[in-house]
Structures are given as structure tokens and as C-alpha cells.
Amino acid sequence: MAEKIISSHSGTDARAGDIVIANVDFVMGQDGTSPLAIKAFRDMGGKKVFDPSKVAMVIDHGAPSPNEGTANLHRLMRDFAKEQTFVVYDVGEGVCHQLMPERGHVLPGDLVVGADSHTCTYGGIGAFSTGVGSTDLAATLITGRTWLKVPQSMKIVLKGRLPVGTYGKDLALYVAGKVTASGATYMSCEYCGEVVDRLGVDARLTLCNMAVEMGAKAGIIAPSDEVLSWVRSRSGRTPRPVFADEDARYTDVREFDVSHLAPQAARPHQVDNVCDVQDLSSVEIQQAFIGTCTNGRLEDLRVAASILEGRTVCRSVRLVVAPASRQVLLAALHEGILEILLKAGATVLPPGCGPCVGTHGGVPADGEVVVSTANRNFRGRMGNPAAEIYLASPATVAASAVTGRITDPRGFLG
């Protein structure tokens, strides 16, 4: 799939290992990377972005701004977007990786670059999308192109039927544990199999989001009918879906039967340090966090609410929830999810990335343990190197918030 999308965007018969220059369908930057990109844009002699309708910047990592330094960088972005007449999603709109598919900027078959490593998320709807740095972003803003080494493809086949209580996040963690943090370096991870075929849009985005945690350049899933109707309802453009050929070449094929997969968690401080949640039942927590570009979507909040309804968060635990976007927040409001979360004792933050990346909104104290739905548990990730972060699904995080220990959610589900 990667070779086909890159071929159609570069006018070549792109094969793994080739270096090509490809046209991009959309370009994204966030507030941690855009200010440097604006600087590089000027440094390159840039005057105009190639096409303002194909560019967006998102203020999400420090939103609302926690200090004057961040506030000034946000102003730099707003001024640049105004000058160049492209859209800036400001404070409260949401996390970049939720907004790009949700607002119809990215479609199946597209080639997208974003200055954030989790840009690989849009592979969940069948796009080839990859993260770049600020200087690469600037060069793309000027030229409308990027250079790519065409990645090799790793096929990850998920067979069987996903058991009750396990979700897309459990699949993502399980695969990361098996493939390891560098096992897919520079590859395009193509997820398929009957389990993947049945996944909804939200879970597909979760799975591809974590491809970069294995070193991958991209994660990608062939779009289902549900995905195609989801994107058609959001964009005026016509999707050009791409599917793998019968005789497609793969460098590596990994098959996993997940029919008996238990809920998974990653232990500190490595994403691939994965085990069954039930092995962690003695681990006490002080904070639980539901949100991020991995698991802050409506389906995630719904699952959490189904566990928290009629229950309360343990007194020794702070449950922090950050919906992935304003649309997710509004939908959660209309469905009554927010009321359930708030009654249970959750603190609901504005849509954004703050706690995940340690800028603000839930920095743990020294020695504290956090269970989070994010994609990274590196030391210091949430702002304090003396804290410990475990990664798990929204169901596991919600169940853990109730008991005060890392808890297998299966006992909480009807």
C-alpha cells in the first residue's frame, strides 16, 4: 500500500529503498514544532506557502498556554497563519491527530506529512502519513513536496476474534511488545486480518498511532466501507482508496492470533515493556489519565463511562480526562458521558495534549504512579522524571481509577 500511494504521488514506480520526491495532499504542524518551522521557512527564503488550503497548524500541546513563553510561540503561529491565510486550530479545538481526519483534511489514499511523530495515525483511514521535523515541514510548506525513502512493508496479521474487555489499544500494545521499540524501523506497518477488518474508525486510528513506537515510518490499514462512509461525511474531496495487491511484497510478516488476548499494559519506562494487566494487580496508582491522540476519542470515553457509571473514583486517585477534540467533547456532553465521568469524580480538561507531554494539566509528584491511555511512558514524559507511567486502554484506566490499583477491566463489564 505504501509503494502504491507513494508511486501515485511521485509519478514513479516507487519500490522500497528508492528515494523519491512526492507531492503531498496535506501538511500539518503543532505548537511544539511549528514555531521552529516558521523560523526555518523564513531562513529558506520562503514567501508564500504552496497552497493555503492544504495547510493547517494546531495549538494543542500547550493549550491553553501555561506560561508566557508558550503564549508568545502561539502568537507567532497565529500571526504566520493569518499572513499566509491558512487555518489555525486554536486553543480548545483539539489534538492535531484527531482534527486532521475529523475535519476531513485527510482521506484514504492521501500522502500527508505532519511535524509530529504520531502523524502515522491517519494510516487508520488508509492514508500514507508520516512525521517530519520542523525544517522538513518548512521545506514542504514552500514546495508542496517532501523527499521520501520508500519504506519496506511489514505485514501484521491479527487473526481470530478480539475478546470482550480488550480493545484497539490492547492490540497496539501487544504488537509493540512483540515487534519491539525498534523492530519496524523505517518500515510501513500494514495491519490486516479478520480482527482488523472488524475494527471501527477510532480503534484503527489507535492502532496506527502507535506504529511509530516500533520505529515505523507509517502504519496503514486498508479502508473498510465504514471508514469510507465516515470520511465522505466529513470532506468535499473524493477519496482514492488504495488496497494491497494480492502479490504485494513484504519484508516481514507477523501473525498473531488474538482470540485469547488479555488486556495489555506497558510498564515504565519503555513502550515495548508489555505484559498482561492482571500481572500488575498489586501496583497502586495515584493518577489515571484518559485522553491523547491515542485514546481520547468518543469510543474511548464511552467505554470509560460504561465502567464509571454508578461508581466513584478511588479517594487516593486523581482521574484526569482530556477529550481529543471539541467535537468529541460535545458528543460526550450530548450522550451524557460527561455527567457520568464528572459524577464519578473525574477532572475534565479542555481538548489538548498537556498531560501526555508534560507541559501542564496533570504533572505527577515524585514517586507517583500514573496509568495512562497515552502512547509513551518514557521517564519524565508527563513532566516529572521521578514518576512512573503505565500505558493501558481506556477500560483498564477507568477500572484502575475505581480500585486505586492497576485493574483488569473485564470484571467491570456487564
Let me know how long the chain is: 414
Which 252-311 positions form the footprint of another protein (CB under 8 A)? 270
Minimum gap (Å) between residue 62 Cβ and another protein: 5
CA angle 212, 215, 219 (to 5 degrees): 45
Minimum gap (Å) between residue 148 Cβ and another protein: 10
Residue 220 phi, psi dihedral angles, 5° rounding: -155, 145
Among 27, 73, 201, 398, binds another protein (CB under 8 A): 73
Q: How far is CA 36 from CA 119, 130, 257, 311, in A?
A: 18, 18, 44, 45
Which 373-402 positions form the footprint of another protein (CB under 8 A)? 376, 378-381, 383, 385
DSSP letters spanning 344-362: HTPEEPPSSSHHHHTSSS-
Q: Which is nearer to another protein, 373 or 375 (CB)?
A: 375
Among 48, 53, 67, 342, binds another protein (CB under 8 A): 67
Query: Looking at this protein, which amino acid is placed at residue 394?
Result: P
Among 62, 223, 323, 351, binds another protein (CB under 8 A): 62
Q: Which stretch binds another protein (CB under 8 A): 139-147, 225-233, 327-335, 391-399?
A: 139-147
Task: Give yes or no for residue 79 binding another protein (CB under 8 A).
Answer: no
Please answer whether residues 396 and 406 qualify as being in contact, where contact means their C-beta atoms are separated by less than 8 angstroms: yes
Task: Give yes or no for residue 13 binding another protein (CB under 8 A).
Answer: no
Minimum gap (Å) between residue 378 Cβ and another protein: 4
Judging by beta carbons within 10 Å of its beta carbon (0-12, 13-18, 19+), is residue 62 exposed, middle or buried? buried
Among 93, 102, 116, 408, binds another protein (CB under 8 A): 116
Q: What is the dihedral of CA 327, 328, 332, 335, to 10 degrees?
A: 70
Please answer whether residues 56 and 88 qualify as being in contact, where contact means their C-beta atoms are separated by less than 8 angstroms: yes
* CA-based nearest residue to 175, from 129, 131, 208: 208
Among 112, 115, 203, 337, binds another protein (CB under 8 A): 115
Q: Which stretch binds another protein (CB under 8 A): 36-44, 152-160, 171-179, 294-302?
A: 36-44
Query: Looking at this protein, which amino acid is placed at residue 98?
Result: Q
Which 119-138 positions form the footprint of another protein (CB under 8 A)? 119, 131-136, 138
Among 181, 192, 228, 283, binds another protein (CB under 8 A): 181
274-276 sheet: strands from edge to edge? 274-276, 264-266, 388-391, 369-372, 287-291, 318-322, 347-348
Query: Looking at this protein, which amino acid is placed at residue 228?
Result: L
DSSP letters spanning 257-314: E-TTPPPEEEPTT-TT-EEEGGGGTT-B-SEEEEEHHHH-SHHHHHHHHHHHTT----
Q: Which stretch binds another protein (CB under 8 A): 110-118, 203-211, 335-343, 396-404?
A: 110-118
Task: Give yes or no for residue 70 binding another protein (CB under 8 A).
Answer: yes
Task: Give yes or no for residue 350 binding another protein (CB under 8 A).
Answer: no
Minimum gap (Å) between residue 74 Cβ and another protein: 10
* CA-based nearest residue to 139, from 235, 22, 310: 22
Residues 6+ apart with CB under 8 A from 406: 265, 277, 280, 281, 283, 285, 371, 390, 392, 396, 400
Among 1, 6, 40, 329, binds another protein (CB under 8 A): 40
Beta bridge partners of 153: 188
Minimum gap (Å) between residue 39 Cβ and another protein: 6
Minimum gap (Å) between residue 151 Cβ and another protein: 9
Among 123, 124, 323, 358, binds another protein (CB under 8 A): 358
Q: Which is nearer to another protein, 152 or 166 (CB)?
A: 152
Per CB under 8 A, residues contacting another protein are 19, 21, 31-33, 35-36, 39-40, 43-45, 61-62, 67, 69-70, 73, 115-117, 119, 131-136, 138-139, 142-143, 145, 147, 149, 181-182, 185-186, 212, 215, 217, 270, 357-359, 363, 376, 378-381, 383, 385
